[in-house]
């Protein structure tokens, strides 16, 4: 398994500061191990206890786990609850006047909202949705900027049992259209525009365009939150202003009590083949995962000011903005803008002005901020911070050490959290008061998460070594299926040929002699661009959909800031273009991909050739393309290559 060998030789060990340990939720290794032991000895008993402790049930469950229909597991199935009730109503007794969200706009205006007011807004909006005849099980697309309203929209759907699917505001009309069609959504909630980095970006016109793409659409309502007040096209009676919808709506909305397994949401993520997968999460199991991880990994305390910088369009923004912090009764920051506007001190300024205590962001943001201002954090008072987090991709030790020293002032542990859209919450991450840290390692699985490494034959690698990362037992927050495609769920995550009964994460990992996990990256053709997954297939299909293109293959290439960028190898229908022609077409194709999928999918480089390197059987030799893309010597065996001459051509980028 040459690709799965560890290349990191990181020996530094950072033991948590006494000041942290003395206040931590899980004080020490013993407490952490005793939870792990409890889970190992009585798995269902452990998760049953957690579910009773953390969740407020409308009707208690009597059975913890049903594994009969593998891998379609059911947790707490006969229990009833409402997730929005668990996030809002439960906080009204003790925390009604506590601030739930500190919202900071792109420009810097601040709006605070208490639990009482958030509850009221969610209730009114939920009643508004009900007045549009949106009911339990209906799918609702949310295409919104980072805002209090985005959280309200998600919570309101869960209040009435509607299944939301948030589409990141950077996705194109086509991507939005595909998600609307796949979910057969009855409504879209959006805004006129969003503000990012001082610029306005259209949202409603993109929704209009997406809806025009379907001839007989399922969508009967579009609710628009007025963010900037710009003129928009109006389609009556389909379009409704948010502020008009809630006028006169009752300020209490009876929650829809749903079964524990009721789908809370669908969130699309890329796979290596085919179209994006609609990852479907449950209500109770998902909520439980978001809550225990808040407690164990973020060491959540009622006095915290929590800030997760992720957009609600990603799973991180679901679990650690829209659900986890609210269910714990936390005060959190929600930020509309970007880390570099008006300058690269923006994050540090927000931490200072709101006295953020727990800060969670992605390595790509950390790296870009290091590049733009390694000393900038020193200009701000960051003494409120007590814990830092990282998510999305492996964090390189240099960035880790800077984050620890300059942002955390050597006082704050860093929780490097490995998890996925499918897992719903953290899977492997340090319990910060208990586990000494190694830069670049996500350390150990959470209590009750049976993570392991297997070799290609499916045997568990028990000691030091590398292989495929699996989770051996089903866990509450695991996705339940792929929307409308259970076979794909089974074949992707529980394939018969590898692991068999285990959840296969699609990542490779290595465990060192101390038992620490190190994530090595994806094993499939999935790229990780700025902490977001993109399937090579998806980008290739988008390129081939352009009338000039005959064939395309894309690979990832390491990038200083984004982690990975896309290099596209393209064969045109006509002659292979050269010089200015090549540059022009390359720019056109780049914009095309941006329109088809979204700006994050834009290839950084495009290279043209008369053909792609293929084996005699016609298979594209991706390993070779990867080497070319990275500018590496070609050391692979090219004896099976049908057309060696094209390698030279492909070495020249057009842009």
Residues that bind ligand WT7 (CB under 6 A): 269, 315-316, 391-394, 416-421, 442, 505-507, 519, 522, 528, 531-533
Give min distance, CB of 388 to ligand WT7, in A: 13
Give min distance, CB of 34 to ligand WT7, in A: 25
| Residue 537, both tokens | 């297939």
Give min distance, CB of 17 to ligand WT7, in A: 22
Strands of 538-601 (E only): list them: 549-559, 563-572
Question: DSSP secondary-structure letter at 2?
Answer: G
Give the nearer residue to ligand WT7 in terms of CB position, either 173 or 442: 442
Residue of closest CB approach to ligand WT7: 421
- Give the position of tokens 């939920």: 126
Give min distance, CB of 465 to ligand WT7, in A: 18
Give min distance, CB of 507 to ligand WT7, in A: 5
CA-closest candidate to residue 121, choices 88, 161, 145, 146? 88
Give CA angle at 513 (510, 516), nearest 5°: 55
- Give the position of tokens 């009730």: 85
- The dihedral of CA 258, 259, 264, 266: what is its sign? negative
Give the nearer residue to ligand WT7 in terms of CB position, either 106 or 416: 416
CA-closest candidate to residue 293, choices 151, 171, 391? 391
Give min distance, CB of 551 to ligand WT7, in A: 27
| Dist CA 58 CA 170 (whole Å) | 38
Give the nearer residue to ligand WT7 in terms of CB position, either 416 or 540: 416
Q: Is 248 left (phi over 0), alpha (psi -120 to 50) or beta?
A: left
Give min distance, CB of 360 to ligand WT7, in A: 10
Q: Is 40 helix (H, G, I), strand (E, B) or coil?
A: helix
**Which residues lie across from 570 on neighbouring strands?**
552, 608
Give the nearer residue to ligand WT7 in terms of CB position, either 416 or 525: 416
Beta-strand pair 258-259/265-269: unpaired
Give the nearer residue to ligand WT7 in terms of CB position, either 416 or 512: 416
Strands of 174-285 (E only): list them: 187-191, 193-196, 199-202, 221-225, 239-241, 258-259, 265-269, 277-281
Give the nearer residue to ligand WT7 in terms of CB position, either 82 or 528: 528
CA-closest candidate to residue 340, choices 371, 312, 383? 371
Give the nearer residue to ligand WT7 in terms of CB position, either 150 or 572: 150
Give min distance, CB of 514 to ligand WT7, in A: 18
Give the nearer residue to ligand WT7 in terms of CB position, either 74 or 532: 532
């Amino acid at each position: 398994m040459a690709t799965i060998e560890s290349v990191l030789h990181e020996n530094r060990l950072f033991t948590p500061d006494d000041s942290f340990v003395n206040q931590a939720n899980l004080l020490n290794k013993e407490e952490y191990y005793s939870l792990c032991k409890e889970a190992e000895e009585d798995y269902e008993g452990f998760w049953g206890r957690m579910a009773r402790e953390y969740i407020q049930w409308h009707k208690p469950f009597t059975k913890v786990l049903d594994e009969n229909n593998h891998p379609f597991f059911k947790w707490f199935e006969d229990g009833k609850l409402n997730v929005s009730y668990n996030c809002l109503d439960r906080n009204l007794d003790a925390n009604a006047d506590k601030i739930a969200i500190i919202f900071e706009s792109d420009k810097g205006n601040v709006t605070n909202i208490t639990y009482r007011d958030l509850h009221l807004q969610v209730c009114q909006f939920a009643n508004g949705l009900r007045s549009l005849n949106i009911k339990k099980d209906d799918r609702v697309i949310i295409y919104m900027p980072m805002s209090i309203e985005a959280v309200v929209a998600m919570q309101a759907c869960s209040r009435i049992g509607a299944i939301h699917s948030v589409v990141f505001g950077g996705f194109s009309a086509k991507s939005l259209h595909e998600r609307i069609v796949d979910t057969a959504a009855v409504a879209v909630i959006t805004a006129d525009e969003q503000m990012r980095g001082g610029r306005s970006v259209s949202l409603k016109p993109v929704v209009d365009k997406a809806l025009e793409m379907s001839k007989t659409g399922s969508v009967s309502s579009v609710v628009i939150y007025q963010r900037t007040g710009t003129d928009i096209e109006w389609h009556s009676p389909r379009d409704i202003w948010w502020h008009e919808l809630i006028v006169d709506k009752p300020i209490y909305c009876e929650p829809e009590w749903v079964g524990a397994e009721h789908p809370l949401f669908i969130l699309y993520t890329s796979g290596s083949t085919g179209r994006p997968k609609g990852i479907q999460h449950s209500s109770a199991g998902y909520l439980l995962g978001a809550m225990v991880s808040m407690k164990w990994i973020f060491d959540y305390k009622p006095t915290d000011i929590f800030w997760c910088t992720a957009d609600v369009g990603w799973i991180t923004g679901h679990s650690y903005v829209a659900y986890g912090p609210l269910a714990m009764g936390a005060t959190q920051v929600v930020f509309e803008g970007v880390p570099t506007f008006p300058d690269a001190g923006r994050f540090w300024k927000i931490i200072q002005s709101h006295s953020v205590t727990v800060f969670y962001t992605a390595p790509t943001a950390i790296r870009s901020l290091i590049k733009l201002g390694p000393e900038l954090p020193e200009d701000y008072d960051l003494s409120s911070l007590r814990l830092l987090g990282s998510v999305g991709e492996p964090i390189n030790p240099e960035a880790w050490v800077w984050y620890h020293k300059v942002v955390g002032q050597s006082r704050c542990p860093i929780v490097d959290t490995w998890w996925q859209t499918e897992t719903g919450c953290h899977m492997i991450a340090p319990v910060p008061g208990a586990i000494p840290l190694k830069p670049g390692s996500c350390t150990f699985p959470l209590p009750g998460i049976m993570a392991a490494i297997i070799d290609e034959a499916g045997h568990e690698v028990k000691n030091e070594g590398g292989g495929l990362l699996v989770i051996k037992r089903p866990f509450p927050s695991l996705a339940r299926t792929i929307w409308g495609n259970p076979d794909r769920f089974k074949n992707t995550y529980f394939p018969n040929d590898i692991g068999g009964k285990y959840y296969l994460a699609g990542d490779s990992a290595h465990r060192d002699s101390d038992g620490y996990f190190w994530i090595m990256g994806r094993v499939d053709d999935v790229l990780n661009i700025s902490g977001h997954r993109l399937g090579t297939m998806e980008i290739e299909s988008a390129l081939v959909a352009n009338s000039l293109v005959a064939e395309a293959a894309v690979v990832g290439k390491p990038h200083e800031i984004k982690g990975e960028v896309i290099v596209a190898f393209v064969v045109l229908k006509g002659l292979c273009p050269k010089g200015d022609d090549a540059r022009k077409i390359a720019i056109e194709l780049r914009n095309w991909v941006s329109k088809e999928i979204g700006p994050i999918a834009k290839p950084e480089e495009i290279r043209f050739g008369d053909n792609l390197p293929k084996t005699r059987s016609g298979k594209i030799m991706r390993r070779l393309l990867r080497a070319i893309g990275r500018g590496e010597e070609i050391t692979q065996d090219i004896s099976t290559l049908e057309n060696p001459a094209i390698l030279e051509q492909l070495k020249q980028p057009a842009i």
